[in-house]
Amino acid sequence: MDQKRLMDLRKNMAKHRPSFRRVESWRYKRVKDPWRKARGIDSRTRIKSKSGVKSPSVGYRGPKKVRGLHPSGYKEVRVVTIEDLKDLNNKIHALKISSKLGVKKRISLVEYAQNRGFKILNVGTSQKELEDLESMLKSSFDDEEFLDSDDLEEELKDE
């Protein structure tokens, strides 16, 4: 219950947190938007004047117990093989399957993880691929559907 309250607090704090923009990035095209510390000798932002832009500081951080967690409340863990799941706890960790993993290995990994009760955060990205491959693997192929190269050559000669 305590973690849920802290997650709600973190979400509420994020709503009120200003978007920290680099000083005068709105004024000049050559000055990009991501935050950089103000270093000018007369800078209102560096002095932390009311008229200056808000600077990132410790006070804007979220609660320590839920810092770095996924919005679902789990710790995100990147997984490539089944071996990576051995030391993980399904009550604490949620899985993100590597995008570089192929469909065949992904299927076996997803099935193993779901059997152990893990939450998978990015299974929906290739859900269609998974279903297509599973149906393809499960369906039995008839010999009549596929012709050997020799049979194909004979059919072409007949025509």
Domain ranges for the chain, please list them.
2-56, 75-134
* Residue 104 in tokens: 């065949």
d(CA 84, CA 86): 6
Tell the burial category of 44 from Cβ atoms under 10 Å away from its Cβ (0-12, 13-18, 19+): middle
pLDDT digits (tens, 9 = 90+) for 13-43: 999 999 999 999 999 999 999 999 999 999 9
32 and 25 Cβ atoms separated by less than 8 Å: yes
Q: Identify the band that residue 143 occupies on the pLDDT scale cut at 50, 70 and 90.
A: very low
**Would you say how long the chain is, in residues?**
159
For residue range 73-102, what is the model confidence (pLDDT) as tens digits? 999 999 999 999 999 999 999 999 998 988
Q: Work out the mean pLDDT of the chain and round it to a whole number.
A: 85
Burial class (CB in 10 A: 0-12, 13-18, 19+), 4: exposed
Q: Which residues, at least 6 apart from 61, have a Cβ–Cβ distance to it below 8 Å?
A: 67
User: Quick one: pLDDT band at residue 107, thresholds 50, 70, 90?
Assistant: confident
